[in-house]
Amino acid sequence: MVKLLKLLAYIIFFVLALIFFIPKASVYYAVEKKLLQEKVILSAEEIVDSGFSLQLNHSKVSYKSIQSANIESINVKMFLFYNSLSVNNIELTSMASSFVPLHIDKLDVTYTVFNPLNIIANASGEFGEAIAEVNILDRNVSILLIPSQQMLKQYKGTLRSLKKNQNGEYEYDKTF
């Protein structure tokens, strides 16, 4: 019994040490190259490896060479069974002002091996709250939007492109 507990402790220590010492900045640069293929560029970020997570501060996001957003902080946690991405204080550029409010307070994206076919995202901001699910196998995106009063008053055109359900929430489904 003691040998089994020692073995379990060694395995847990090895896994935690592996997660702690993995070069997270190198993983980030590999992801950045993949994003570049999709014409998404993250620039002017400050990278901080804090052991079990990677923090990116003051990032600027461009899509097809067009400045799209400023992000205060991105926190990436990479574990074996659970991975998460937390983005705080996203400020979209004025180009999007006719479609949605420009400030997003928080975006949380999670992926777990216990639900390997789905990526789950939750967002909140001036638009209200949104829950999104991306099914990797079916290549389907489903978004449920609970709009704020500002969204209901100022962005009726955007809401018309979504399907309203009986709870007053708006749904969006798209296969890519």
Q: Would you say 42 and 56 are in contact if contact means Cβ atoms under 8 Å apart?
A: yes
Q: Name 107's bridge partners.
A: 87, 123
Mean pLDDT of the chain: 93
Is the overall model pTM greater than 0.75, yes or no?
yes
The pLDDT assigned to 50 comes to: 87
Segment 90-123, tens digit of pLDDT: 999 998 888 899 999 999 999 999 999 999 999 9
Strand segments, DSSP code E, in the chain are 40-43, 46-49, 53-63, 66-78, 82-92, 103-112, 118-125, 128-135, 140-147, 163-164, 170-175
Residue count of the chain: 176
- 65: which residues sit within 8 A by CB, 6+ positions away? 39, 41
